Amino acid sequence: MPVLVNINGEFFPPEEAYVSVFDRGFLFGDGVYETARTYFGRPFLLDRHLARLQRSADRLWMPIPGGLHGLEHEIRRSLEAARNADSYLRIMVTRGSRPGFVNLDAATAGDGLIVIIVRPLEAFDPACYAEGVDVALVGVTRTGKRSLDPKIKSGNYLNNIIALHEARRQGAFECLMPNQDGYITEGSTSNVFLVKRGALRTPSLECGLLDGITRSFLFEIAAEAGYRIREEKLLPADVFDADEVFITSSLKEVMPVRSVSGRQVGDGRPGAVTRDLLERYRARAHREVGGEAAPTDPAGA
């Protein structure tokens, strides 16, 4: 079963994976989630993803049924059952439902719901890495830290969906959202980095953005490799002035950006620092999971 859905501990094929229309995740986006992946069939940085899931849930006063240990067990069981060479993982927890009720009050929710989707990992078009992608600065601002704090990875992604839509209308692959003060925050599902004179610059968390797992893992890799890294308040002018720009996420890894709102970045080709970091990132990811194919991996990838 390459696409497998685990709902509260039970496996379903995708066409039979349903949840209640009264589930608060469906009604209100009242849930939290993580997207992770495997390398060589083994989950990558799962502990960090689970820790962030817990932080998100805590910010919403939402219990995780069975706790993180139970959840990790279900994730590993699902991966084993799916038997994919490599998997995409979506781990969701909602506040649950009370059949027949539509009520914002969290006190009226029943038990939480856990959904784990496991799919064969689909690689991005190799051109994204060989040539870079186009991003667009959009007018839609990122939700403020004091409204729906972007550090909470909740199931409510409408802010990001609207911003991505605006970018796609401009023919771009990803958006860059400013905050209310005009400082750059992040993309719809990625963090952003600039390279200027060999040093890395990225929006600081105080600007209001998700503390990406890839972002912080890359801090470690870049520091080891001797790069200087600064978390800063960055303006669109800084992005246009950068020698290199790249975006990061668990799925995109380190993806070069070749243009921002139609303006070419550097010479329009993926820069040397970005390429170096992508290579180091993949090498570290492979090492982190154990460096070789898992014994259960049928494809031996």
214 binds ligand PDD (CB under 6 A): yes
Residue with Cβ nearer ligand PDD (97 or 188): 188
213 binds ligand PDD (CB under 6 A): yes
From candidates 54, 251, 269, 284, binder to ligand PDD by CB under 6 A: 251
249 binds ligand PDD (CB under 6 A): yes
The minimum distance between CB 111 and ligand PDD, in angstroms, equals: 25
> Which one-letter amino acid corresponds to residue 253?
E
Tokens of 30: 């009242």
Part in contact with ligand PDD (CB under 6 A); list of ranges 24-32, 103-111, 189-197, 237-245: 189-197
Residue with Cβ nearer ligand PDD (6 or 97): 6
Q: What is the DSSP string of 216-276?
A: HHHHHHHHHTT--EEEE---HHHHHH-SEEEEEETTTEEEEEEEETTEEPTTSS--HHHHH
Residue with Cβ nearer ligand PDD (36 or 109): 36
Part in contact with ligand PDD (CB under 6 A); list of ranges 18-26, 64-72, 244-252, 266-274: 244-252
The minimum distance between CB 251 and ligand PDD, in angstroms, equals: 5
Q: How far apart are alpha carbons 105 and 145 in whole angstroms?
A: 22
Spatial contact of 38 and 44, defined as CB atoms under 8 Å apart = yes
Q: Which residues, in sequence order, are CB contacts of 82 under 8 Å at separation 6+? A: 1, 2, 3, 4, 118
From candidates 87, 160, 259, 274, binder to ligand PDD by CB under 6 A: 160
Q: How far apart are alpha carbons 130 and 126 in whole angstroms?
A: 6
**Tokens 């170096």, residue?**
276
**Tokens 């620092």, residue?**
273
Residue with Cβ nearer ligand PDD (109 or 173): 173
Residues that bind ligand PDD (CB under 6 A): 35, 160, 186, 189-191, 210, 212-215, 248-251
